[in-house]
Amino acid sequence: MQRPKADEVLTVIRDCGPISRLELQGMVRRSKMGVNDSLLILRRDKLIHIAGWARQQGHGGAYAPLYGYGNKTDADKPKARPPKERNAAFRERNRALIRTNTRIRRGSKTNIWGGLML
């Protein structure tokens, strides 16, 4: 037995294709808990499936499921980047800051504008 909220969520998923939970919240104007409840009901009744995964913006780049219409097999969740790769990317993005902090820890004088100049 579906509730009216679940019917509304199902209609949006059917019409808009693969869509994330956050996008659903904005389209059906429901709370996070209301959308979650509807998704649980629809998944239990095998009316929707996880069609894919997308990185969330503003949530640390975590993967969010994209829900699609129909009773199909769920897409596999992508593997996270290995820590070595993540750390290398962080160091590359924050190279000047790391260099300045290292100089400060070693006790050498540093110019606050030095990290901005190449």
Q: Does domain 4-69 have CATH number 1.10.10.10?
A: yes
As given in the structure block, the two tokens for residue 50 are 């996880």
> What's the confidence (pLDDT) of residue 5?
82
> What's the confidence (pLDDT) of residue 77?
92
> What's the confidence (pLDDT) of residue 67?
96
Q: How far is CA 81 from CA 84, 95, 98, 112, in A?
A: 8, 20, 22, 33
Alpha-carbon distance of 21 to 40, in angstroms, equals 12
> What's the confidence (pLDDT) of residue 30?
85
Number of CB atoms found within 10 A of residue 100's CB: 17
pLDDT tens-place string over residues 37-48? 999 999 999 999
For the chain, give every domain's residue range.
4-69, 78-108
Question: Is 14 a residue whose pLDDT tops 70?
Answer: yes
Q: Is the pTM of this model over 0.85?
A: no
> What's the confidence (pLDDT) of residue 57?
78
Least confident range from 12-21, 70-79, 94-103: namely 94-103
